[in-house]
Chains A and B, each alone.
Chain A
C-alpha cells in the first residue's frame, strides 16, 4: 500500500513538467521544498520530541551560501551541496549549545539563535546585501529552463525524502523515538542521548539547508525574510496540519498548507485570517493531524 502510494507520488511529481505549465511547476516545487523543510523539522519534533523554532536559520543559511557560491561563479549542483553543508555546519555550531537543553528551553534557544542569524543577515550588508538581499542569482545556462531546474530539484527532494524515511526506520530513528519517550531510560540503556540528539540536529540542519539552497536559484533572488522567525513557523504549521507521528505527515501538511493558501489568496488578501481559522479547526478536531486522523479511520475500517 505504502510502496504503491510512494511510487505513484514519485511518478506524478516527475511528470508535472510534461503535462503542465510553469505555474503548476512552481507551486509543486514550492510544496516539495516546504515538505523537505517540514520533514527535517519533524525529525526533531515528531520523532525526538524537541520543538525547534530555528529551522529558518538553517534554511536561510543554505539559501545564502548557495546564492553566494553561484554569484561567485560556481556551478549549480556544487553550490546547492555547499549550501546544505554550510547549513549543517551552522547547525553543528548552534546544536552544540541547544542539545544540552530540552522542552521549552530547547525551543527558546533555537528561537533565539534563529533571531541571531536573522540579525546577522540583516546587518551584514557587504556579504548578504542586508535589507535588499541578493538578486540576480544565476543557475547556469543548462538549468535556465524551468523544467530542467524543476526536475533537478524534484529528484534531490525525493532522494532526500527516501533518505529520511530510511533513517526513521533505522536504529538511529529508534534511538530518537526512545529519547522522545523517555530520555532517562534511553541514557540508561546505553544510548548517548546528547550525541544522538546532536546528530539529529545536524541532519535536520542539512536538509533544511538543502531546501533553502534549492529555493535561491528557483527565485533567483533571496531576501532576509528567509531567516525571519515566521519562516521557522511554516514547517511547524505544515507538520501540525499533516500530523507529526507518521512519517508522511509533514509532506501531506506542506501540500495542504500551500494548496489552501493558493486557493484562499484568490478570494481575500486577509488569507492568513482565514487560514488561521482553518488551522484552528484542524488542530481542535484531529490532534494527530490529517494523516493521523486518516490512519485512525483506516485502522478502524480494517479492524471492523
Chain B
C-alpha cells in the first residue's frame, strides 16, 4: 500500500542557511504523528514546505500517490491537506459563520460563483452549522471572529481546516498560548478528530506530544534525527541529549529581592479597551532587583497590565503607577520607555528585513543610551551569538524570542516587562532563558513577567501574583512558590 504522504530528499535553504537538509518521511494513513525538535530545528519550515507556503529547493512530496511538490497551496488543500497555524489565523472582521463558509465553498468549487447569494445556499449553511457544532462554537456563529477569545479562535481555526475535509490535517502548535483547561479541551478534540483524519502536529509541550502521538519524528538542524514510537523516542540517547535530557529546569535563584524602596508601585489600576473594562483596581508593588510573575489563564488581564505599565493601553483615570516614586500613569509609551521601562510583547515583533544585529541597534537610534553590548548579549543567549547576520524573518520562533528580549536589554532598562516569555519554547531554550533571567537580575534589572507556566515562574520568580477576571486574587511569596503549590495549581487549572 502506498503511504498517504511520502517525502523524499526534501531540501530548503534560505539565503544564509539550510533549514531543511534532506528529510525523508513516509506517513501511512491514520494515527497522530508529532514532529518535535529544539527551536530552530526546521519544524515550521517543514510544515510550510508540505503545505506549499514555501517552495522546496529539491526533493519530492507525494500525497495520496500523486506528486504535489510544485502545486500551489490552494491546490494542495483541494488534494486533501489542511493546516492550522502557530499564530491564530482567521478572517478577523468576518462573522464566524462566514469564516467557515469560505473553505466550504472552496471545497465544493464554488469560490468563484458570482450569481447566487452565498447565504441562500442551504447546503453551505447546514454544513457550516454542523462544523461549528463539532468544535463547540455553535452559539458564536454570528459574532465577528475578532471578538472571540484566544481559545475560541483556535477552535475556529480547526473548523476552518476541517471544512476542507482533509485526509491529512497539519496542526502547528495547536495548544500554544492556552491555559490548562483550554488545553485539555483541545487535546480531547484532537483525539476525537484522529478517528476521522490522519494528523501531523508540531508541538513543544512534551505532555501534549506524549499524550497524543502514536509516532514521533525528531528534527534537529534540518535533519531527521529519530523516528519511532513514543517509547523508543523516550529511550533514544541522541534525542535525550539534544532535547529531553536538557529539559530539567535550573534550580531557583536564592537571592532575595532588595529591601529598599520599591521600583514600581501600582495602585488602583483600571484599564480596558473602549467599552470593555479589563482591569479592576489592580494594586501591587515590585521591589528593586526583584522578579515578579503575573500568573493566570488566558484573558484574565495579564497582557493588559503590562501594556498599561508600558503606556500602550492608557490606564483609566484614578489609576496610579509610580516608577521610582514618580507617577507615570497616562504618559505616552515613548516617554515611559525613555524612563527605563522596556516591554517585550508575546508576539516578539522582530523587524523581519533587518538582521539580528540591526534589530538590536534599532532602540539605540531613539534612546541615546545603552549599556549592554552585543558580546554581553551573546554570553546571555549563546544561540544568538552565531546568528548576528541572519535576517529576522529567517530566525526560528525561539531565536526571535531571545532576540526580542535582547533588544529590550540594549536600552539598559531598569524595569523589564516580559509577556509570555516561555510560551512556545523548547525545554532547552527555556533553560537558557531561566539562566539569562538570573543573570539579568544580577545586573540590577527588575523584571515583571506574565506567564502561564507555573514551573517556569517557580524557577525564576521570587513572587507570584495570580490574576483572575482582571483582579489580583492571590499573592504567593517565595516560600509558597517553592513549597505547597496546591492553591496555585487550583487557581491556574480550570
**Do A169 and B118 have beta carbons less than 8 Å apart?**
yes
Judged by a CB distance under 8 angstroms, whether B471 is at the interface is no
**Do B77 and A190 have beta carbons less than 8 Å apart?**
yes
Name A175's contact: one of B72, B78, B111 (CB within 8 Å).
B111
Given the known interface contacts A171-B111, A182-B89, the answer about A187 and B74 at a Cβ–Cβ threshold of 8 Å is yes
Residues of A contacting B: mostly: helix
**Do A171 and B105 have beta carbons less than 8 Å apart?**
yes
CA distance A32 to B72 in the complex (A): 41
**Do A188 and B77 have beta carbons less than 8 Å apart?**
yes
CA distance A166 to B93 in the complex (A): 21
Given the known interface contacts A166-B115, A166-B117, A174-B98, the answer about A192 and B103 at a Cβ–Cβ threshold of 8 Å is no
Judged by a CB distance under 8 angstroms, whether A230 is at the interface is no
Residue of B nearest to A181 (CB): B91
Judged by a CB distance under 8 angstroms, whether A155 is at the interface is no
CA distance A195 to B106 in the complex (A): 13
What's the tally of chain A residues with a CB closer than 8 Å to chain B?
A: 27
Q: Contact string, A192-230, partner B, CB cutoff 8 A, digits 1/0? A: 110110010001000000000000000000000000000
Distance in Å: Cβ of B112 to nearest Cβ of chain A: 5
Given the known interface contacts A181-B94, A188-B73, A189-B163, the answer about A175 and B119 at a Cβ–Cβ threshold of 8 Å is no
Q: Contact string, B70-82, partner A, CB cutoff 8 A, digits 1/0? A: 0011110110001
CA distance A185 to B87 in the complex (A): 11
**Do B113 and A182 have beta carbons less than 8 Å apart?**
no
Judged by a CB distance under 8 angstroms, whether B4 is at the interface is no
Name B91's contact: one of A170, A173, A182 (CB within 8 Å).
A182
Given the known interface contacts A177-B94, A181-B92, A181-B94, the answer about A189 and B102 at a Cβ–Cβ threshold of 8 Å is yes
CA distance A199 to B121 in the complex (A): 22
Given the known interface contacts A185-B89, A189-B164, A190-B74, the answer about A174 and B114 at a Cβ–Cβ threshold of 8 Å is no
Judged by a CB distance under 8 angstroms, whether B160 is at the interface is yes
Q: Which residues of chain B are near A190, meaning CB under 8 Å?
A: 74, 77-78, 103, 106-107, 111, 164
Q: Which residues of chain B are near A195, meaning CB under 8 Å?
A: 112
**Do B102 and A174 have beta carbons less than 8 Å apart?**
yes
Judged by a CB distance under 8 angstroms, whether B110 is at the interface is yes
Distance in Å: Cβ of A300 to nearest Cβ of chain B: 12
Judged by a CB distance under 8 angstroms, whether B271 is at the interface is no
Given the known interface contacts A172-B114, A199-B112, the answer about A189 and B94 at a Cβ–Cβ threshold of 8 Å is no
Judged by a CB distance under 8 angstroms, whether B51 is at the interface is yes
Given the known interface contacts A181-B92, A192-B74, A193-B74, the answer about A186 and B102 at a Cβ–Cβ threshold of 8 Å is yes
CA distance A296 to B92 in the complex (A): 19
Judged by a CB distance under 8 angstroms, whether B90 is at the interface is yes
Q: Which residues of chain B are near A98, meaning CB under 8 Å?
A: none
Name A170's contact: one of B72, B83, B117 (CB within 8 Å).
B117
Residue of A nearest to B75 (CB): A192
Q: Which residues of chain A are near B106, meaning CB under 8 Å?
A: 175, 189-191
Q: Contact string, B46-90, partner A, CB cutoff 8 A, digits 1/0? A: 000001010000000000000000001111011000110100011
**Do A172 and B102 have beta carbons less than 8 Å apart?**
no
Judged by a CB distance under 8 angstroms, whether B101 is at the interface is yes
Given the known interface contacts A181-B94, A188-B82, the answer about A169 and B112 at a Cβ–Cβ threshold of 8 Å is no
Distance in Å: Cβ of B82 to nearest Cβ of chain A: 7
Residue of A nearest to B78 (CB): A190
- Between A167, A182, A184, A195, the greatest number of chain B beta carbons within 10 A of the residue's beta carbon is seen for A182
Distance in Å: Cβ of A225 to nearest Cβ of chain B: 33
Q: Which residues of chain A are near B114, meaning CB under 8 Å?
A: 166-167, 170-173, 203
**Do B92 and A174 have beta carbons less than 8 Å apart?**
no
Judged by a CB distance under 8 angstroms, whether A178 is at the interface is yes
Judged by a CB distance under 8 angstroms, whether B116 is at the interface is yes
Q: Which residues of chain B are near A196, meaning CB under 8 Å?
A: 111-112
CA distance A192 to B103 in the complex (A): 11
CA distance A211 to B117 in the complex (A): 25
Given the known interface contacts A188-B82, A190-B78, the answer about A175 and B89 at a Cβ–Cβ threshold of 8 Å is no
CA distance A13 to B91 in the complex (A): 38
**Do A170 and B74 have beta carbons less than 8 Å apart?**
no
Q: Which residues of chain A are near B115, meaning CB under 8 Å?
A: 166, 170
CA distance A195 to B75 in the complex (A): 12
Q: Which residues of B contact A (CB under 8 A)?
A: 51, 53, 72-75, 77-78, 82-83, 85, 89-94, 98, 101-103, 105-107, 110-119, 121, 160, 163-164
The 8 closest A-B pairs by CB, nearest first: A190-B106, A189-B103, A181-B91, A190-B77, A172-B114, A171-B113, A178-B102, A171-B118
27 A-B pairs in the complex with CB atoms less than 8 angstroms apart: A166-B115, A169-B117, A169-B118, A170-B113, A170-B114, A170-B118, A171-B101, A171-B110, A171-B113, A171-B114, A171-B121, A172-B113, A174-B105, A175-B112, A178-B94, A178-B102, A182-B89, A185-B90, A185-B91, A186-B102, A188-B82, A189-B102, A189-B160, A189-B163, A190-B77, A191-B102, A192-B111
